[in-house]
Structure 1
Amino acid sequence: MSTEQPNNPLHGVKLADILEFLVDKYGWGILGSKINIRCFNHDPSIKSSLKFLRRTPWAREKVERLYLNSI
């Protein structure tokens, strides 16, 4: 399976793991200031954020980009 996408650093990484990493690293407050979306700024939770990110490609792209820049 790893030969299918050898140059994709996100291959095999779950969105939940990405979000948990970012919350642990930055916290909700800083994460909300870096990526200004409502689910990070108003009553944030992993569950509600995952639901939003799975349905919103532009927001998911911003989260993935921040993750790649953070590792």
Structure 2
Amino acid sequence: MNASAPKPKDPLHGLTLATILEALVAHFGWKELGERIPIRCFTHDPSLNSSLKFLRKTPWAREKVEGLYLFMLRDIRREKRATDDAFESEQPLP
């Protein structure tokens, strides 16, 4: 294998589960997070510590959280691109 071959960029590389969960809670809030991923640690008396404890022990739930995080990142990029395109179209050409 060639050491200089480009590796696929993993957006989750270097992120802790706590960082991912904090970003999701900041973006969606606990209520919407519980609606999107209906697990008890998000819907009944949610807290960061109890959710992290559950997610670390439950691979399927962690995969759902990571998937939602990736979806959130794509959505944010799309919104940013759309606003950037709209801003550029409003600018008069010299």
The sequence identity of aligned pairs, in percent, is 66
Q: Which residue of 2 aligns with 1:44?
A: 46
Quote the offset at 1:8 in angstroms. 1.8
2:51 & 2:15 partners in 1: Cα distance?
17
Higher RCO, 1 vs 2 (CA within 8 Å, ≥6 residues apart): 1
Quote the offset at 1:61 in angstroms. 0.1
Q: What runs of 5+ residues in structure 2 fail to find an aligned partner? A: 1-6, 74-94
Cα RMSD (Å): 1.4
Query: Which structure has the larger Rg?
Result: 2
Equivalent AA in structure 1 for residue 33 of structure 2: L
1:8 & 1:21 partners in 2: Cα distance?
17
The TM-score, its normalising length taken from structure 2, stands at 0.69
Quote the offset at 1:34 in angstroms. 0.1
Q: Does 1:54 align with 2:56?
A: yes
Q: Which runs of 4+ in 1 moved over 3 A?
A: none
2:28 & 2:51 partners in 1: Cα distance?
15
The TM-score, its normalising length taken from structure 1, stands at 0.90
Aligned residues, how many? 68
Q: Which residue of 2 aligns with 1:20?
A: 22
- 1:10-41 per-residue CA deviation (whole Å, 9 max, x = no partner) reads 11011000000000000000000000000000
Match of 2:67 among 56, 61, 65: 65
